[in-house]
């Protein structure tokens, strides 16, 4: 657990991103920091926003919608990163800019149908069960292509890329392995769907952020290292 203030922690994470990008020859501007603010009060998001943070990730719809209301004066880009049941898709389609973690066509169809017409297409990432853990959500790697092809036909969806939550790896090398698989999957998807804006690999959390960046992550989802350990 980090003991600094939110702003100090945020700046430390930013420095780690820059250092990691410099070490592996990537442009730090190509990595978006998504601050995962689940269970945190609205004031914590406001503090991070005051230090320039714009992307926030939430896992629980009701909680997120309450914070949206409390922070309606801020220009936040809201990402839904939790599991999404089909009876909750309308709130996600109406209240968020991004939904990570889509792993069924039915969910994508509902999000597309429920996306308000005056809003831009909803950005989505398909969640991949990259290390084939049982009981974990996410589409199997060999099924990504057919799901992506069907999702790409939906009118109010922008298919941006892939997302994963691999099991924690012990070593940097063990952490990189699933992330490298993800990068290869995205490359393959780009070749079969050249018309889609497939520019996103949403991967890397507090414990494996560097391994994800080294493997090509474009969005890292960081909670603990910014806001402290969750209770």
Ligand X SMILES: *Cc1c(COP(=O)(O)O)cnc(C)c1O
Provide the binding-site residues for ligand X, judged by CB under 6 A.
36, 38, 59, 81, 165, 205-207, 221-225
Minimum Å distance from CB 21 to ligand X? 18
Which token pair is 27? Answer: 């442009």
Between 83 and 95, CB nearer to ligand X: 83
Between 68 and 79, CB nearer to ligand X: 79
Minimum Å distance from CB 221 to ligand X? 4
Between 14 and 38, CB nearer to ligand X: 38
Between 156 and 224, CB nearer to ligand X: 224
Q: Exposed, middle or buried: residue 117 (CB in 10 Å: 0-12, 13-18, 19+)?
A: exposed
**Looking at beta carbons, which residue is closest to ligand X?**
223
Minimum Å distance from CB 114 to ligand X? 22
Between 48 and 222, CB nearer to ligand X: 222
* Integer CA distances (angstroms), 65 to 59, 124, 206, in order: 11, 19, 25
Cβ burial 140-151 (10 Å sphere, 16+ → b, else e) = ebeebeebbeeb
Minimum Å distance from CB 111 to ligand X? 17
Q: What are phi and psi of 114, to 5 degrees?
A: -95, -5
Distance CA 34, CA 27 (A): 17
Contact 227, 193 (CB under 8 A): no
Minimum Å distance from CB 222 to ligand X? 5
Using only C-alpha atoms, the chain has a radius of gyration, in whole angstroms, of 17
């Amino acid at each position: 657990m980090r003991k600094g203030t939110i702003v100090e922690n945020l700046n430390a994470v930013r420095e780690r991103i820059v250092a990691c990008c410099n070490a592996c020859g990537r442009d730090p501007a190509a990595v978006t920091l998504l601050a995962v603010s689940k269970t945190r009060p609205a004031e914590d998001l406001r503090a991070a926003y005051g230090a320039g943070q714009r992307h926030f990730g939430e896992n629980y719809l009701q909680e997120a919608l309450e914070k949206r209301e409390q922070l309606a004066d801020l220009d936040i880009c809201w990402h839904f990163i939790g599991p999404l049941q089909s009876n909750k898709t309308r709130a996600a389609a109406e209240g968020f800019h991004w939904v990570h973690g889509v792993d069924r066509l039915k969910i994508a169809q509902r999000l597309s149908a429920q996306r308000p017409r005056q809003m831009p297409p909803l950005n989505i990432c398909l969640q991949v069960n990259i290390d084939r853990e049982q009981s974990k959500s996410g589409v199997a790697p060999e099924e990504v292509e057919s799901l992506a092809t069907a999702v790409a036909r939906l009118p109010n969806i922008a298919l941006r890329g892939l997302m994963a939550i691999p099991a924690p790896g012990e070593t940097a090398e063990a952490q990189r392995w699933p992330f490298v698989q993800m990068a290869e999957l995205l490359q393959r998807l780009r070749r079969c769907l050249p018309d889609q804006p497939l520019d996103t690999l949403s991967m890397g959390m507090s414990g494996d952020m560097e391994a994800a960046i080294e493997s090509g992550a474009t969005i890292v989802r960081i909670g603990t290292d910014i806001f402290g350990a969750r209770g």
